[in-house]
Amino acid sequence: MSVFNIDDIEQAVRSKLDKATWDFWAGGANDLITIAENKAAYEEYRIRPRYMRDVTNVSTAPKKPLFSGLDFTVPIGIAPSSMHKLAHHEAEAATARAAKAHNWPMAISSYSTLSLEDAKEAAGDSLVFFQLYVFKNRDTSTDLVRRAEKAGFKAVLVTIDSPFLGLRFAEARNKFTLPPGLAPGNFADGRYAGPIDFAVDSKSKSKGPGKNDALKDGKPNIVDPALVFEDIKWLKSITKMQVWLKGVMTAEDAEAAVAAGADGVWVSNHGGRQLDQCLPTLHALPEVVAAVKGKIPVHVDGGVRRGSDVFKALALGADFVWIGRPVLWGLKYDGQAGVELVERFLEDELKLCMALSGTASVKDINKSYLTHRGPTW
């Protein structure tokens, strides 16, 4: 089958994937309302184009470097998602090489299949964020952070939207567990495995409603529901890397993040996998941007499938836009080449969208290029 966009890749992959893995990737919390609305929010905006603006040369280069000295091709990156080996035998190495090949930034999950060191080696400068779940056992988190710093990561990206695991009915119905032999690569001895995203503990085969591992106590390395903004100080005391927060969805949390010394915030609702009925990320973005007042960068993810989606998020004030599921689909579709295809589609679509809107550079894109759905359409 020929593929021309991300939707085509999604459909191609769906037909060759077992139901349980498809549901694990595509699914989310409860009634899947937030997943659908993340995507639908982009349809609430339309673009107001300007013509006769000389768009012979369009540059998609980000407005400012994500980290000093790193000039990425586009303000789009690969969001952290667990266990890439479910998609392809080369796992995060294939994703990392695709990031490097297209000069995209990438974040790696705490629950990657490869170790953070191996992934970093494959990605080079592209792998900038180490996504961290802060565990009840702070020594485990400290160990991970120190390893990431040693491996050359630029920032630790703390996921704050998962004090407990969201209810995912499809995973429970499918009794989804990791295939034999698959385990998170950062926890070679299995001791550090936690509950978020999959049940790896042999004693808890199902993590369906009522059997949520995260609700049980007594395990040393489950995510710490007691995490507070004050803990940013602790994180800053154990690393020289920047500390970013992923899951900031309101002005209140954005202000708290700035006050607590966060180096950046990432607007995310975990792709609708945690709190269902959470507002869509595109609608959270403007209030976060307003609250942050330009003091630190604001990134966003959730439901981005088109270059025009990227354009809209940039117009509403995002510095960078990240994609989750499309990367997994690309990886399943054709390994590194599949992820590169996803990257190419988004790059080409963004560039064309910019040219047809009359914005030759990313800094030209602003709110005046959008109109929100009103009574007229």
Active site residues: 270
- How far apart CA 301 and CA 297 sit, in angstroms, is 14
Query: Segment contacting ligand FNR (CB under 6 A): 118-126, 172-180, 266-274, 356-364?
Result: 266-274
Query: Rounded to the nearest whole angstrom, what is the least distance from the CB of residue 172 to ligand FNR in the complex?
Result: 16
85 binds ligand FNR (CB under 6 A): no
Query: Segment contacting ligand FNR (CB under 6 A): 45-53, 80-88, 200-208, 348-356?
Result: 80-88
- How far apart CA 306 and CA 360 sit, in angstroms, is 18
Q: Which of 116, 367, 159 minimizes the C-alpha distance to 265?
A: 159
- Residue 314 and residue 72 in contact, taking contact as beta carbons nearer than 8 Å: no
Query: Which of 131, 186, 242, 308: binder of ligand FNR (CB under 6 A)?
Result: 131
Query: Segment contacting ligand FNR (CB under 6 A): 79-87, 171-179, 251-259, 307-315?
Result: 79-87
80 binds ligand FNR (CB under 6 A): yes
79 binds ligand FNR (CB under 6 A): yes
- AA letter at 346: L
Query: Rounded to the nearest whole angstrom, what is the least distance from the CB of residue 118 to ligand FNR in the complex?
Result: 17
Query: Which of 120, 270, 312, 332: binder of ligand FNR (CB under 6 A)?
Result: 270
Query: Rounded to the nearest whole angstrom, what is the least distance from the CB of residue 169 to ligand FNR in the complex?
Result: 16
- How far apart CA 124 and CA 127 sit, in angstroms, is 6
Nearer to ligand FNR, 75 or 80 (CB): 80
Task: List strand residue ranges (DSSP E) for 175-297, in order.
Answer: 242-246, 264-267
Instruction: Please report, to the nearest 10 degrees, the dihedral formed by the alpha carbons of residues 68, 71, 77, 81 taken in order.
Output: -50
268 binds ligand FNR (CB under 6 A): yes
- Residue 193 and residue 184 in contact, taking contact as beta carbons nearer than 8 Å: yes
Is the CA virtual torsion 76, 12, 274, 235 positive or negative? Answer: negative
In the complex, which residues of this chain contact ligand FNR (CB under 6 A)? 24-25, 38, 79-82, 109, 111, 131, 159, 197, 246, 268, 270-271, 273, 301-304, 323-325
